[in-house]
Amino acid sequence: MADSGGTGAAALRSDAARNRARLLDAARQRLAGGDTTLGLNALARCAGVGVGTAYRHFPDRQSLVEGLATEGLKDLLDAAQQAAGDLDPAVGLERLLRAALSAMAADSVLAEVLSTATPVCAETIGLSRELGVSLEGLLDRARCAGLMRPDVGADDLRRLLVGAHSAAQAGSDPEAARERYLAVLLAGLRHPAAGALASRAALQVADTRS
């Protein structure tokens, strides 16, 4: 039941760790070229390891994607925790959503992981849960301040964000679309009854930035 080491995962043998790193590097290389297939055969050849080794480390495409995205997910969690601590929840929310959209645009595997409801790797599951907790806390504060509609939870927001991301990514000029869709999403999230008051507050907030 109890773990041997301090970390969640059992320590890998040195050659295993090296092979795993090589596979992830090879995957990033192939992603940098246009290959989104991430076939384990091609990956193994590219990494200089046997096919079986690739399958040992990453039983399916999903665990490979999660392995590739953990770093980005950690960064996003940092951003979420920082946003959750922001004085003005509306400012924190806008910063977090913008950061998330930028991160997804820069890192397609992160977008893929965020679009899955239930990850398979233990580490990813943990990070997702923490992310959800931070976000829910932020949303709670925004709701209490009357800044946000009450019928949208953290998981709703995750899905809406992924939706906005793929919408922005679908056309030409994704950066411009991203900013417009973010504006639409933020405006849509505001509490309906808050009306002019909330939007006036939002405008003031916007003035303090840039």
Partner DNA sequence: ACCTGAACACCGTTCAAGT
User: What residue ranges bind DNA (CB under 7 A)?
Assistant: 12-13, 15-16, 19-20, 37, 39-42, 48-53, 55-57, 59-61
Q: Residue 187 Cβ, how far from its own copies at the closest point, in Å?
A: 4
Distance CA 20, CA 13 (A): 11
| CB nearer to DNA: pick between 16 and 122 | 16
Task: Please name which of 61, 59, 53 lies closest in space to residue 21, comparing C-alpha atoms.
Answer: 53
Q: CB under 5 to 8 A by kind: which of its own copies, DNA, none does 37 bind? A: DNA
Q: CB under 5 to 8 A by kind: which of DNA, its own copies, none does 51 bind? A: DNA
Report CA-CA distances (Å) from 200 to 26, 34, 150, 203.
50, 44, 20, 5
| CB nearer to DNA: pick between 8 and 48 | 48
Is 148 in a helix, a strand, or coil? strand
Tokens of 51: 């096919």
Q: CB under 5 to 8 A by kind: which of its own copies, DNA, none does 195 bind? A: its own copies
Q: Residue 180 Cβ, how far from its own copies at the closest point, in Å?
A: 5
Q: Which residues of 46-82 are buried (b: 16+ CB within 10 A; e: fewer)?
A: bbebeeebbeebbeeebebbbbbbbebbeebbebbbe
| CB nearer to its own copies: pick between 137 and 153 | 153
Q: CB under 5 to 8 A by kind: which of its own copies, DNA, none does 170 bind? A: its own copies
Q: CB under 5 to 8 A by kind: which of its own copies, DNA, none does 65 bind? A: none
| CB nearer to its own copies: pick between 23 and 96 | 96
Distance CA 137, CA 122 (A): 23
The residue ranges that bind its own copies (CB under 8 A) are 115, 117, 149, 151-152, 155-156, 159-160, 162-168, 170-171, 177, 180-181, 183-190, 192, 195-196, 199
Q: Residue 24 Cβ, how far from its own copies at the closest point, in Å?
A: 27
Distance CA 66, CA 68 (A): 5
Task: Please name which of 112, 109, 149 lies closest in space to residue 24, comparing C-alpha atoms.
Answer: 109
